[in-house]
Chain A
């Protein structure tokens, strides 16, 4: 079965700094997404990572705060910029594999971020 990996798995950062999270898939995917999972809250979609073009952001999320890149079909990065303690969360990428329906999303293991 396909492997979705994320780096780093966890990090502790100081406020005001930025962290870039990587998502790598070892199979062909058609779509990639970034989610946030805060304690006691549901997974929330941040943006759809589009290959070769700007990501599509959901309401409440902006490119300056969460810049996203997707240089090829199987790799994407999410940067959390100018971090504050409110950004402490688990960040997850999800993918749709080629040949499957757009609603069938598979998740990476997540990146646990703590901002001090």
Chain B
């Protein structure tokens, strides 16, 4: 079993829709949770960074962490065609192994006009 599971998609939604992207994980030591956006033929771009459980909002993006369920989500409101990309979740543990990120395989999102 992979440490981080992420549905690869593709996920196709109409412009303006609310998008929900999710990851589950098995390692209870993970404390830091990130979402990256990767456009085709580009490097991953850090979108959201959260620590422990709770919500964090940044513009149209909301990251949610539920450590009790080992489940994280990224919500995109009012989705735009420019949001079409692959979204990668990543997570890491505490002191000592804090720098090693464990990634999901990514979910490909297509926002259509």
Contacts and interface: CB of A to CB of B under 8 A. Distances in A.
A33 B99 contact: yes
B43 A108 contact: yes
Interface string B71-113: 0000000000000000010101000001111111110000000
B67 to A, nearest CB: 16
Nearest to A104: B49
Interface stretch (A36-44, A66-74, A77-85): A36-44
B41 A112 contact: yes
B46 A104 contact: yes
Given A107-B45, A108-B43, A42 B99 contact: no
A86 interface: no
Contacts of A40: 8, 105
Interface string B35-73: 010000111111001000000000000000000000000
A105 B101 contact: yes
Contacts of A41: 105
Contacts, number: 58
A50 to B, nearest CB: 12
Interface in B2-58: 2, 4, 6, 8, 32, 34, 36, 41-46, 49
A108 B38 CA distance: 11
Given A40-B8, A103-B32, A110 B43 contact: yes
B104 A106 contact: no
A6 to B, nearest CB: 8
Given A31-B99, A42-B4, A45-B100, A103 B43 contact: no
A42 B104 contact: yes
15 contacts: A40-B8, A40-B105, A41-B105, A42-B6, A42-B88, A43-B103, A44-B103, A58-B100, A92-B44, A103-B101, A104-B49, A106-B46, A107-B36, A109-B42, A110-B41
